[in-house]
Structure 1
Amino acid sequence: MSTGENVTQCIVDEQFMEYLYAVTYAIILVPGLIGNALALWVFYAYMRETKRAVIFMINLAIADLLQVLSLPLRIFYYLNKSWPFGTFLCMFCFYLKYVNMYASIFFLVCISVRRFRYLIYPFKFTDRKRMFDTYVSAVGWIVVCVSCLPFPLLRMQNSTHENGNESLEQKCFMDLPLRDIGVTNSILAVTFAELFGFVTPLITVLYCSWRTVMSLKKPHSASHDLGEKKKALKMILTCAVVFLICFVPYHFTFPLDFLAKAGKIKNCQLKKTILTLHPVALCLASMNCCLDPVIYYFTTDEFKRRLSRQDIVDCSELEIFSSNTL
C-alpha cells in the first residue's frame, strides 16, 4: 500500500462529524431552551418555599442555558463550514462547552450530596444552609471557569496563520488546531482533568447513591421517613444516571482523543477510531442540557406542583391581587 493511500485511510469523515454535531445540537436546542428557562422561572419564583438542593438546581439550569444559547452559532458553523463571527466569539463558545460540562458535573454532585445530607439530617436545614449553598455555588463557578481555561488556550496557537487558501480565522470548534505541549504536560493535564473533573465526582455520586440505598434497608425507619428516603433515592439515582449517560463516554475517550490529536498515537486505525468515537461521546455529553430538566420534573414535587395548571392560575390571581393593592 502506498503512503498516500495510508494517509487517506487515517482521515476521519469530516462531513459525517459536521452532520452529527449539527443534528445533535438542533435536537437539543428547543427542549434545552424551554426546559431550563422554565426551571429557572419555577425555582427562582418559589425559592423560599423549596428546600433541599434548589440553589444547586438553579445554578445547574444556568449552566445548561448558557450552553444552549451558544448552540445556534455551532449549528450555523457545521452547516455552512464557515465562521464569520470573529476569533473571540469562537473561543468563547468553545470555552462555554467545557464550562457547561464541568459546571454540570459539579452541581450534579452538589445536588446528590445536599439531598443525601438533608435525608440524614432533615432538621438541620436552615436559611444559613441555603446561604452556604450560595457560597459553594460561587466558589464552584470560579473553580470551573479557571480550570476550563486551558481548553481554549491550547487551541489558540497559530490562529492567524494561513492554512492553504483558507485562514484559520474562519475555522472553529472541531477544526481548531491543538498546541503541542509535550508528552509529560499532556499526561499531567489529562490526569488532572480526569481525576478532579470525573473520577472524584463519580465516586461521590455513587457513594451518595449507595448510602441512600442502605438507609432504605434499615428496619426501624418510620413510614414518613421511608417515603422521604425514596424521594431522595429517586433524585440521587437520576443524577447518577444522567452522569453515567452523558459524562462517562466522554471521559473514557477524552484522554485518547487528546493524545491522538497531539500526534502521540501513531497507529492509523486506532487513531481514526478514537477521532470518530470521541465526537459521538461529546454529543452525548451535550445531551445533559435536555436531561437535567428531567431531574427537576420527575424528582422534585415542588416543580411538578408549580407547573400544574391550577397552581399557575392561583399564582397569576395572586400577582394580580398584589398589583391591585399597591
Structure 2
Amino acid sequence: VENIGPRCTYKEDFKRILLPAVYSFVFLLGLPLNAAVILKIWKARPNLSRNNIYMLNLATADFLYVMSLPLLIYNYASHDYWPFGELACKLVRFQFYSNLHGSILFLTCISIQRYVGICHPLATWHKQGGRRLAWCICGGVWLVVVALCAPTFHFASTGIQRNRTVCYDLSRPEHSLDYYPYGMALTCLGFLLPFMGVVVCYCRMACFLCRPVSYQGVSVATGEKRDKAVRMIIIVVAVFCISFLPFHLTKTMYLLVRTLPKAPCEMRNLFSVIYKSTRPFASMNSVLDPILFYFTQPRYRKSTRRFMLKVTTLKDKEREREREVKNMLMKESA
C-alpha cells in the first residue's frame, strides 16, 4: 500500500501475483534467449553487419536488465518488502529505464538501417564508415540512455511504509511535483520522438514494398529482402504495441493524476492500478527482442533448425537402441 497525501492510500494487492509471475516468465525466457543471441553474434564478430552490431547492443541491454529481475520478484512476492538497501533500489530502477529506452533507441537504429537499405538501395552515403560508424552510433546511444536515465538515481529511493522498507519506482510521494517535468521529458525524448521516427520509416517502407518488383526501371527489392523487411516491421510494431506504447500512455496519465492535489482517492487508485498493470509488460521486450533477431536472420534460423534436427535424430537413435536392448533381453529370457 502506497501512501499519497495525508488521507489517500493505494490498494495494490494485485502486484503480489501479477508482477512476480510476469517477471519470472521474462527471466526464465529472456536470460537464455538473450545469452544465445549475444554468443551467436559474438562468434561472428570479425564479419559483423551493422544490423547485427545494433542487435548485439540490444541483446546486451536486455540481458543486463533480466539479471536484475530476481530482486524484483522477491520484492513483490514479499508484499513490497525491499531488504537490499538504497543503492540496489536505485540500480534496479535505473536498469529498468535504461533497458526500456535503450531498447527503443536500438530498435530505432535497426529500423532506420533497414529503411535506408530498402528505400535507398543504390545510395552510397549511408555505407561510408561501415562497422566503425555503427559502433560509434551504439556508443552515442549508450551515452544518451545514461544521460536520460541518470536522474533515476536521484528520484528512486527506499522508504518506510507500515513498518516495512519499500523501493519506490518513480519517486517518493512527496516528490511527485518535482518528478513530473522529468517524467514527461523522459517520455518525450526517450519514447515519443523515436516512436515517431519508427512510424515514418515503416510507413515509407510499406509504400515502397507495395510497389512492383521493378519500379521506374529500378529494382525495388528481392523477394528475400521483402520478406525479411516485412517480418521486421511486424515484430517491431508488436514490440512497441505490447511493451512500449501501453506503458508510456498509462505512465503519462498516472503522472498527471498524481500531481493533481484535488484528485479523489478513487481516481488516483484507478490510474495507479492501470499504470502498474502495464509496467511488467514493458519488460516483455526482453523476450520479444531475441525473436526479432531469430526471424530476421536466415542463417540463425537454419542453424537452429539443424540443431533441433540433430537433437531429434539423437533421441530417435536412443529410442531405437532401447528397443533393440529390450528385444535382446526378451529373446534371452525366452
TM-score range for the pair, normalised by the shorter chain length = 0.7 to 0.9
CA RMSD for the aligned pairs?
Answer: 2.7
State yes or no: 1:180 paired with 2:175.
yes
- Which residue among 264, 267, 273 is the counterpart of 1:276? 273
1-structure distance, mates of 2:240, 2:65: 17
Structure-2 residue corresponding to 1:137: 138
Contact 2:155–2:171 (Cα < 8 Å) also in 1: no
1:10-21 matches, within 5 Å, as 11-21=9-19
Please list the CA deviations of residues 196-230 of structure 1 after superposition, one character each: whole Å capped at 9, or x if unmatched.
12221111111111111111232325486243133
Q: Which amino acid aligns with 1:147?
A: L
Structure-1 residue corresponding to 2:66: 68
Please list the CA deviations of residues 108-153 of structure 1 after superposition, one character each: whole Å capped at 9, or x if unmatched.
1111011111223446475832111111111111111121122331
Structure-1 residue corresponding to 2:30: 32
Structure-2 residue corresponding to 1:206: 199
2-structure distance, mates of 1:244, 1:89: 30
Structure-2 residue corresponding to 1:303: 300
Change (3 A) 1:223 1:102: closer
2-structure distance, mates of 1:62, 1:153: 25
2-structure distance, mates of 1:291, 1:272: 30
SS of corresponding position for 1:14: coil
Structure-1 residue corresponding to 2:166: 171
SS of corresponding position for 2:84: coil
2-structure distance, mates of 1:265, 1:99: 33
Structure-2 residue corresponding to 1:3: none
TM-fit CA distance, 1:236: 2.9
Instruction: Return the TM-score normalized by structure 1.
Output: 0.82
Q: Which amino acid aligns with 1:229?
A: R
Change (3 A) 1:302 1:245: same
Deviates more, 1:30-39 or 1:74-83: 74-83
- Which residue among 194, 211, 214 is the counterpart of 1:218? 211
Identity of aligned residues (%): 27
2-structure distance, mates of 1:133, 1:100: 19
Please list the CA deviations of residues 291-318 of structure 1 after superposition, one character each: whole Å capped at 9, or x if unmatched.
11110111221321333436999xxxxx
Structure-2 residue corresponding to 1:78: 76
Structure-2 residue corresponding to 1:316: none
Structure 1 residue ranges without an equivalent (≥5) = 1-6, 314-326
Change (3 A) 1:73 1:126: same
Structure 2 residue ranges without an equivalent (≥5) = 1-5, 311-334
Contact 1:115–1:232 (Cα < 8 Å) also in 2: yes
2-structure distance, mates of 1:12, 1:134: 45
Please list the CA deviations of residues 12-67 of structure 1 after superposition, one character each: whole Å capped at 9, or x if unmatched.
33221122111110111111001100000111112344535111101110111111
Structure-2 residue corresponding to 1:320: none
Contact 1:208–1:236 (Cα < 8 Å) also in 2: no
State the aligned residue count: 298
Largest Rg, 1 or 2: 2
TM-fit CA distance, 1:192: 1.6
Structure-2 residue corresponding to 1:192: 185
